[in-house]
Structure 1
Amino acid sequence: MTHTSRGTGTGKAASTGTGASIGILGSGISGLQLALRLQQLGVPVTLYSAQDVQGLRSGRPRNFPARFGPTQQREEQLGVFDWRTPDAQVRHWAVTLGTGDAPLEFLADLTPPSSVVDFRLYLPHLFTHFLDRGGHAVIGVPSAEEAAKAHDLVVVANGDRSMRQLFPADPTRSAHTTPQRILCSGLYYGIDEDLPHSLDLHFLPGIGEILRIPFRSPAGRADVLAFEAVPGGPLEAAAHLDADADPTAFHREVLALVAAYAPTLRERISTRTFGLIGPGEVAQGGITPVVRRGWARLDDGTCALAIGDAWITNDPLTAQGANLGSHTAFALADLIATAQGPFDEGFCRSASAHLWEHARHVVEWSNAFLGELPPHARVLFAHAAQDKQIADAFVSTFHDPVAMWRILSDEDGVAAFLAGFRQPGPPGRPGPPPAMSRRE
């Protein structure tokens, strides 16, 4: 293992609260924001990362996160938010539900805009700030047991196989045991926008979803084009093609699927210039949504906490993964900094239960959207197509998963949400949605 930089205070201590030593395993958004926040609060911390800063900049895309307003506010608080340019923002959502001649459609403004920055830019940026402020980082991730010898508390934010074994799946909180979508997401050139800084989301009942997202990539402005395929359905085909071995066949299949299931999007793609921004710029495979046990007792009797991918894996459809990771990091940092007792099993149990109170809304909402869209959600979508105020308010609630799940969890939630607007028709019996105006 390589020590890259050393700040003040490492090694196991007998004290609690800010005098304790915290070891963080993993340098994703959860691990890095936790390290930065503890550093800000004066808590001695060591960050263990499988990659150095340069390593985080390289490789294939890991995911395509959208960071909503509260996450950006936390980044401002950390002094690490650095993407205010329009090419790193999504300001509008164009949503389509259904296929055929008369799909339900609405256009909404997202307020504040989300930030869309490749993690190959974002994670090195945070890591560099941590080091520049005197942070202590070690390149190479030990086992939780090894890390516990040097720290009063070990927080695992690394979701690799060995760490997943430490935190087994919690069947009472995990609705699925297999992937509910097969994913094929890539970064492309050659796609035009109807409205600048807008996202396209096509819900295809029984088939899956197609998304186009403007994105700040390492190569500059590009577009994410993503298929979320119901297993066994027609969108799954692209996930099984080798884009590197035969780019022509891969691009041909991608365009064919867009033409068949999102024809208005296909109209904006240039056959001549369309293609991945480079070799390897695609992510394919299935993700099983799962909630793992939030803490584990180690061999020496001490305990470790799980956050980030080590704790919860959600399907990316609701775009909450990075935001949940950020929220959890800040909430845990506050618990650590104000702890009055030892970082023992009691602390880990209590902390994990506290973090779950927020996280459960994200999990339940994400799992619900992977199933058949319930009638009350369709009612909300229909009203959004008739009233832009409703559309704007609904889409902007993606910033607040607790409020979103309060709305979408049942028909009473939808009715209460709609009651705040002048409605074109009674809930449950909306009139025909007007034509969209996004091409005007």
Structure 2
Amino acid sequence: MSSIGIVGTGISGLQLALRLQQLGIDVTVYSAQDPDQLASGRPRNFPARFGATQQREAQLGVFDWDFADAQVHRWDVAIQAGPHELTFSADLRPPSSVVDFRVYLPHLCAKFVERGGNVVVGERPITELAARHDLMVVANGDRSMRELFARDETRSVFDGPQRILCSGLYFGISEETPHSLDLFLLAGVGEILRMPFYSPQGRADVLAFEAVPGGPLEAISHVDSDADPEAFYRDVLKLLGEFAPGLRERIDTQAFSLIGPGEVAQGGITPVVRQGWASLPDGKSALAIGDAWITNDPLTAQGANLGSYTAFELADLISRASGPYDERFCRETSEQLWAHARDVVDWSAAFLGPPPPHVVGLFGKAAEDKRVAEAFVNNFNDPVTMWRTLSSPGGTESFLAEFSYTSPASTP
């Protein structure tokens, strides 16, 4: 029987392990953290998992958050386009699932172990692990593992962060509509997002600033929330008052605070694609998925969803392989996974720049017609269709033609 080793206990590694386990393939997971460490520490990210990812989780028997406090049912979007602001709202069907990875990852890990899976805790050289298995899959984005996979210059378009982030979990923010997300797209400035989130302390809200480097939103990412909480909260509220006044009005200043010390993530992320496979000294090869392979800016909320998709695709390719898991298998498998990942990477990169006229036009139609708004927002669950829609004027025209678009104002 083939033996697969997986380095990493993020969504990619654990969903891959669970899927291989379902398929009857021997698999061992190697984790730098024990279960208590997975459930503690600072927030790693603030993922939204869309419908297709939830379907895969249901197939794995690990989806246990089908309740309102862990869901986003509606998006409210405001776009600054020149002197005007475009706004639209859209219902998300099914709602996205928003669960802190400090809750989510230990749950998946426990399910894997309950079903007989083996998790080995502690850092070990990849060469040592490779000797035990027919194939190593690296799903750990830590620097030591990332360095195994060189930057792919043909697929990486950025040399530095395109946004400087300050994202935290807060109490004291109310909603106009229950279980809704607020997104403010500010031309030349960045983005502000408010999203309900199921944290280790229950229902809270993510408040995130994505600043164009050097812009007016960046300063908050350099304020130490632990060293001077009052200054931090003051600066957050000032930015909201200037750039998202409607959201600022919904904050109870007496109750407004991070849900605990350290519940904020700050810094820059450089989007990058690395080589999807690497040769090891013993002649074996290793595959990269998840953060070891691709790092996208979180603006399009595709990281966890791409990780889940590639985990399932890879499990299928491993189970159907007729030959050895050698360099040829790894090279061909990586290219097959890239066929889907390419659209996610291209869309995520494009969204970091100023929207071209055809996309601004689509936003305008979304502001006029809820059908367009809902189709656009629900395409976050289908990045291939989303990129086909946004990548060219023709794609946008074809998307809008599906609605036989007429302005609601002129509809009898």
Q: CA deviation at 1:100?
A: 8.9
Query: In 1, Cα distance between the equivalents of 2:276 and 2:258?
Result: 38
Q: CA deviation at 1:370?
A: 0.4
Q: Would you say 1:175 and 2:157 are equivalent positions?
A: yes
Q: Secondary structure at the match of 1:103?
A: strand
Query: In 1, Cα distance between the equivalents of 2:128 and 2:236?
Result: 46
Q: Would you say 1:165 and 2:147 are equivalent positions?
A: yes
Match of 1:289 in 2: 271
Q: Secondary structure at the match of 1:269?
A: coil
Q: Would you say 1:123 and 2:105 are equivalent positions?
A: yes
Q: CA separation of 1:392/1:233 partners in 2, compared to 1, >3 Å: closer, same or farther?
A: same
Deviations 1:16-38 (A, max 9, x none): xxx21000000000000000000
Match of 1:12 in 2: none
Deviations 1:120-147 (A, max 9, x none): 0000000000000010110013222111
Q: Would you say 1:82 and 2:87 are equivalent positions?
A: no
Show the 5 A alignment for 1:26-425.
26-98=8-80, 102-424=84-406
Q: Secondary structure at the match of 2:136?
A: strand
Q: Secondary structure at the match of 2:16?
A: helix
Deviations 1:48-76 (A, max 9, x none): 01111111000000000000000000000
Q: Secondary structure at the match of 1:234?
A: coil
Q: CA deviation at 1:103?
A: 1.0
Amino acid paired to 1:356: W
Confirm or deny: 8 A CA contact 1:93 1:198 kept in the other structure: yes
Deviations 1:298-330 (A, max 9, x none): 001110000000000000000000000000000
Q: Mean Cα displacement is larger for which, 138-147 or 237-246?
A: 138-147
What are the ranges of 5 or more consecutive residues in structure 1 without an aligned counterpart?
1-18, 433-440
Identity over aligned pairs, percent:
68
Confirm or deny: 8 A CA contact 1:23 1:153 kept in the other structure: yes
Q: Secondary structure at the match of 2:395?
A: helix
Q: CA deviation at 1:163?
A: 1.0
Q: Mean Cα displacement is larger for which, 267-276 or 174-183?
A: 267-276
Q: CA separation of 1:101/1:431 partners in 2, compared to 1, >3 Å: closer, same or farther?
A: farther
Q: CA deviation at 1:410?
A: 0.7
Query: In 1, Cα distance between the equivalents of 2:402 and 2:202?
Result: 41
Query: In 2, Cα distance between the equivalents of 1:151 and 1:91?
Result: 43
Q: CA deviation at 1:431?
A: 9.0
Q: Secondary structure at the match of 2:52?
A: helix
Q: CA deviation at 1:271?
A: 1.3
Deviations 1:191-232 (A, max 9, x none): 110101100000001000000000000001000000000000
Runs (4+) off by over 4 Å: 99-102
Confirm or deny: 8 A CA contact 1:25 1:141 kept in the other structure: no
Confirm or deny: 8 A CA contact 1:157 1:309 kept in the other structure: yes
Amino acid paired to 1:402: V
CA RMSD, 1 decimal: 1.3
Q: Secondary structure at the match of 2:147?
A: helix
Report the count of equivalent residues: 410
Confirm or deny: 8 A CA contact 1:67 1:114 kept in the other structure: yes
